[in-house]
Structure 1
Amino acid sequence: MSKDIRIKKGLDLKLKGEADLKISEIARSKVYAVKPSDFHGVVPKMVKKEGETVKAGEVLFFSKSDEKVKFVAPVSGKIQEIKRGEKRVILEITILADTQDSFIEHSPKNPNDLSSEEVKEYLLASGCWPFIKQRPYDVVANSADLPKAIFVSAIHSAPLASDLNFTLKGKKEALKIGFEALQKLTKGNVHVTIAPNADFLPEGINISVHKGYGKHPIGLVSTQIAKIDPINKGEKVWVVQIEDVAIIGELFLTGKINLERTLALAGTGFENPGYVVAKIGAQISDVVNANLKQGNFRIINGDVLTGDKKNITEGVGFYHTQITAIPEGNDYDFFGWNLPRPNKFSVYRAGMFSFLTPGKKYDLNTNTNGEHRGFVLTGEYEKVCPLDIYPMQLLKAILVKDIDQMEALGIYEVAPEDFALTEYVCVSKQDHQHIVREGLDVMIKEVG
C-alpha cells in the first residue's frame, strides 16, 4: 500500500543560476568517453582494441566479477584510445564518433510476454544493466541476485537539479514499459517516490507510488527506502533513476539502447542556464558550448553536493543529469570569520544573516571557509540527516574499521551521497562521502 513520505530534517541550498525551461541546440561531440570509474567496484575486461570500429550499443568491456554485466559504446565510431594508469588500470575509453550513429539492434520486446529471466538477459545483453544499482554498498547490481524490492526516486531535491516534469515530457510510454520490465525483476514491489506536482507518471501500471514532502535529501533513494521498507542485514534492494527507467523502456520499444539525456546546465557560471540534449560521454566542452562565462569557474559533473569536479575536456558521467558551474573559491575574506557577511549563507548564525531571509538565493563559491581538523561535536549532523542513524558515530567507526560497530550503526542503509549534507555543515571540514565510500568497500571485502 502506498504512503506519503514526510521529513523535517534536511537542508535546501538555494542557489542562483537555476536552469530555464528551454532546450538549446548543441553540436554533436567529435569524441565520447566511457570511464570505468563511473561504475564503482567494477574491474573492466576489454572486448575491443584501439583502432577498432564500434556501433552504438556494442560491448566495450564487461565486469570481471560478473561477466554477464556488459558496458557499451554510447555512439558509433572508432576507438581512439584506451587510456591506462598505474598497473595498467583502464582509466578511460575514448571513441572518435561518426557523424551519425549506427546501432546494434535487438528485437523489440514486450516485457509482459517475457519471463523474469528473459527480461534480465535482455537487459544484460543490451548494456542497460549498469543502470540498476544495489543497496547495500551502492554498486552495480549483481545479476544473480533477487531483490526484495526495487526503488525509483522520481524527485530531484538537490541544489539546481533538473525539472523532471520538463525532462521527462513525452516519455510516458517509455516509462510505462520500463516499469513493466522492472516488475519482472523482483517478487516484491516497485516503489516510486514523486514530488506532489509530478505529472510524468503513466497510468495503468502496477507500482507503489509515494509522494515525498520535505527538504533535501527527500530526493535521495536512501531516505525513501528508510521510510518505506528499510533494509535489514542480509537483504538487498535495487535502485534505478527515473530517467534510466525511460531509457530501459525505449530499449524494449525500439530494440536500441539510446544513451541520451536531457541535461540541466545550471549555476552562475553559465550565461544562459538551461537544458541541452546530449549522449552520455559527450565532451563537456561541446555540451556547455559557448554558454560558459569568462572567469574562474568550477565545472561539476552533477550537483554541487555530490558531483565530480571536471575539466571541459572530460566527458559527461554515466549517471549524471546536470552540469553545474559555480565560482572557484580561491579568494579569502580578511577577518572573514569575524565580520558580518550578509551575502553569505550558513547554517550557523555567527556573523551570518541568512537565517533572516530563508527564501533568498545565493551565489556561493567552492571555498570551504575553513581547514581540515578533528571531529567536533556540534549536533548539526543530526539536523540535516533524516536517516535513523548516528552520523558521527558511524563515521568514526568507519575510520577505525570496526566492522561490528559499522553494522550496528547502519552502514547497510547508506551511500556516500547521504553524507553530502553532513559534510556541508561539518565545521571540521572532513570528507564524509569519501569516508563512507571507504567504509562500504571494507564491508564488501570483509562481509560480501
Structure 2
Amino acid sequence: MTLQTTETTETVNKAYAQLAELDKKHFMHPTTSFKQQHEQGPKFIFTEGKGIYLKDIRGNTVIDGLSSLWNVNIGHGREELGKAAMEQMKKLAFSSTFATNSHERVIELAEKVANMTPGDLNMTFFTSGGSEANDTAFKTVRYYWQLKGQTQKKKIITRKKSYHGVSMGASSATGLPAFRTFPSLAPDFLYVESSIEALEALIQQEGAETIAAFVSEPVQGSGGVNPPPEGYFKKVRALCDQHDILFIADEVITGFGRTGATFGMEHYDAVPDILVIAKGITSGYAPLGGMVISEKLKNELIDLSDGVYMHGYTYSGHPMCCAVALENLRIIEEENLIENVRKMGAEFQKGFQWLADRHDVIGDTRGIGLLGAVEIMKDPETKTRFDEPVSVKVIEEALKHGLLGRSIIYEGQDTLAFAPPFCINKEEVATIISIIDQSLTTVLKRDC
C-alpha cells in the first residue's frame, strides 16, 4: 500500500537515504543484529500513525499488526493524549516523588489503577516501563522476606518461555535462554516447565524456605503467545499459599484490556500478591510502568519496616506520563474498547481457524482477545518442523503486502504472532487474515 504524495520518488528516497546513514552511524538499536543494522540500515523510518496504520518516510503504509511492541492499544494518532501531555507539561512538567513528595496526577492514577485491579491490589510503585517494574517486584519480595527475618528466601521461580524484560533482574527472570546470553546476570532465578507438577517438584527440590516468589505472565507473549494449561493459575495460587511463596503476575502485555478483560489474570480466577504493569497503561504514548501490591503486603511492609525503602527511579510517577495514562484509560473505558477486543478477538480466532482449514502446515492456532498466534509445522501430526523457520519468510512476505507482524522462533518454535490495536474493525481483521493467507501460500509454493 502506498499513500499519495506530492513529493517525488527521488526526493523521498534521498531523504530516506540521508536518515538511514545517520541511523547506522549514531543510533544503537534495541534487540537488533549489529551486523544487520550496519549492513542494511533501517527497514522503515516511520513518520506518522493513524488507527492501526503506520506510514514511513517513503510513503509506504502498513498495518501495525503487533501494536508496535504489544503496546499501542488505543491505536496511533490520538491527539487527546498529546493534548493531555501538553497541558500537564505547561502546568507541571516534573517534580520528584521521593521522600513523600507527590503531585495530583500520580495520586489520581494510583487511585485509578487500584479501582481497576482485581482483589485487594491497592498500591502502585510507578516506573518508566516493564523491565523496571519487574526489577522492582523482585527487589521488593526479597526485601519483604528480609524484613521478616527469612533472609534465605531469595529464589524466584519463573516459567520457561517466559519474558519479563531486559534489565539485569528482568533478563535473569526471563525463561527464554536467548535473552540470558549476557555474562554475570543476577543469581537465584529458577526456570520451570508450565505444569503444576513441575512447579511442585521444583519447590520440593529447592525447599520452600528458600523461595521468595513465583512470577508468570497470564499468557506468555514473546515466548509464543501461550495460554496457560486449564486450571493452572488457581493451582499456582493454592501452591504459593501452601508454601508461603509470593505470587507475581507480569501483566505488562496482557494488562488494560489486551485479552478482553481488564487484566489477564481475571480469566483464570487467581489474584496475585503483586501485579506488574506497563505498555497498555499509556498505549505507548509515554513511558510508564508499575508494580501494584496487595493491601495485605502493603500493611506488612508498613508494620515491619522502620527504615527507608531504598529504591526509586528519577521518573517514578512522572507527571506528564501519569496525565497521558489517565487520558488513555479514559478513552479505553468511554469508547468501550475492551468490548471491541472481545468481539474482534473472536473474529481473529475464526480467521485463524479458516487459515488452518486451508493450510495443512498450521499445527496450532491459539490466543485470547487481540493476542493470537499461528504455529507452523511441516507435519502437525508428528510435530515435525521445517529445516528453516517458515514464519520468518511469511512475515517478510506479509510486509510486501502491507502487514507488520512478528515471527517467534525461540526454543525451536515457528510461530506467527499478532496483537493489533483495540480500535481494529471487522474489515481490517479480514484484511490481516487475507494477507497471512496470501503470504503463506506464496512462501510454501516458493520455498517449501
TM over 0.5: no
Query: Which TM-score band applies after superposition, normalised by the shorter structure?
Result: under 0.3
Decide which structure has greater helix share: 2
Length-normalised TM-score, structure 1: 0.25
